[in-house]
Structures are given as C-alpha cells and as structure tokens.
Amino acid sequence: MKRWITFDLDGTLMQNPFGKWIFPEVEALVCAGLSEPYEVRKALVREHEARMDRNETVAAYDWDEMLRQLLGQLNLKLEIDIEQLVLKHSIQPKIYLLEDSILATLEKLKSKGYSLAVATNGFYKYQYPVMKELGLAEWFDEIITPEKVGCGKPNIGMVRELLQTGELVAHVGDRLDHDVYLANRLGVPSMFIYRDLPEALRKLPIEQRSADPEFIAICENKLKVENPSLTAVPLPPDYVATHVLYRLEELLECV
C-alpha cells in the first residue's frame, strides 16, 4: 500500500501566471474589443464565486468556459484561449517556486518512500505547464484536478480514487476553507503552510502553533477573507490545522 502526501499548488508550492499576466491580457483584449473600459477580472471572479456558492466546484474553475460566457453576454466575437495564454506566460520569472528549497524537500519525501500527489482546483491544462516549467511535475505520482474526478476542494471526493491505492498520510495547503477543511474531514493531518507566521510562533513546536491565541486570531481573519459566507469567529474546529508550517521543509519533521 502506498503512503500518500497530497499538496495544493497555488500559494503552497508555486505562483501561477493568472493574476499578474493572464487576467490583465484578457482584460486588455476585451476592452480593446469594446472600445471602452470593462472590469473583466471582476466579472470572471464574480462568476467563479457564484458557481462555488452553488457547489459547482468543477465549473467554477473552467476559466475558458466562463470567459466564453462573458464574451457572449458582451456580444463580443473574440477568440481568447486561456490555455494558450498559460503556455505563453509559463516562463520564469513570471512564474516561480515560493521557496528555493521546495524541490529538495519533495526529493527528500520521495527518498523516504512517500508517494506524492497534487490536489488542486486548477484544471490540468492550466497547471501542468507551470509545474513542468518549474521542475515540479517530475516529483509527483498523481495530479488530481476537478475535471478529472468530477469535483474540487473542499469536497473530500476529490481524493476518493487516491485512497483506493493506499493511505493518505497528510495534506499540505495554504487555504483554511479548502485545504485544512479537506484534511480534517478526512481525518488526516492538516499541514497548513503560513509563511507570514510571526517570529514568536515559529519558536513553538509545529503541532502547537495552531492552538496559540494569536494564531487563532490570524486564522479567523484569514477565513473571513477566504470565504465571507462562513462563520469565522470563533474559529470552527474544521478549520483548525493540526500542524502549522512556515516553510515547506518543516514538513520533513512531521512525517
């Protein structure tokens, strides 16, 4: 039986090109077509959030389809292929690893006998080019994406097929509402990576940080931002991580 560790991607391991490169280019193309300003990013994010509210966790991350829908509403006959824009912008320094030691950490986990999987809400066609360019792809045995398995985080069904091949040892991610919740619902260690962890909390044992009042307040504020529809105060147990990391290499001390 395999021993799996699953990882989120964006905000956990890497920076993708959407925020600084793809959305601005799409907005520029649409505004040029309209001959007037239009907040394309806001419109797409609004549709994304509406789909998430309806628990459409696959459709909510289909940026090509959401853009086609928006172009139809605007009566714009533009051909914009976000998948192609990902390929165009998947070059460094537009994309980058969030820590210099990430690849070395993944290599050490593999040498310990763990099987590694990505569990990301981004579609494969948007994520794999970035992973490949950054040298991440070669370290992962599986890349789990919503369009492959029919759901996305925080739906625990996302890792159902993975669990048929072995034991899930831990899930690592940077979002409380997606990653910590998913791991806690599965009953596996939730490794919450928070790189802005205050210096005083870094001195605490990894498994004690989440119970510190200062960190609980940080998480309450973070959960409000991540998902305003959730009750964040007091912080619900489902969103309390078992372990808090400020660098990925700390994971090596936990597994």
Domain boundaries, the chain: 2-16+94-253, 18-89
| CA angle, residues 72, 78, 79, in degrees to nearest 5 | 110
Q: Which CATH architecture has domain 2-16+94-253?
A: 3-Layer(aba) Sandwich (3.40)
Residues whose CB is less than 8 angstroms from the CB of residue 59 and which lie 6 or more positions away in sequence, other chains included: 51, 65
Range 236-241 contact pairs with CB under 8 angstroms and sequence separation of 24 or more: 237/184, 238/180, 238/181, 238/184, 238/185, 239/176, 239/177, 239/180, 239/181, 239/184, 240/180, 240/184, 240/210, 240/211, 240/216, 241/176, 241/180, 241/183, 241/184, 241/190, 241/191, 241/192, 241/210
CA distance 219 to 241: 10
Q: pLDDT 10s per residue in the chain (255 long)?
A: 999 999 999 999 999 999 999 999 999 999 999 999 999 999 999 999 999 989 899 999 999 999 999 999 999 999 999 999 999 999 999 999 999 999 999 999 999 999 999 999 999 999 999 999 999 999 999 999 999 999 999 999 999 999 999 999 999 999 999 999 999 999 999 999 999 999 999 999 999 999 999 999 999 999 999 999 888 899 999 999 999 999 999 999 999
* Residue 3, strand partner residues: 167
pTM equals 0.95
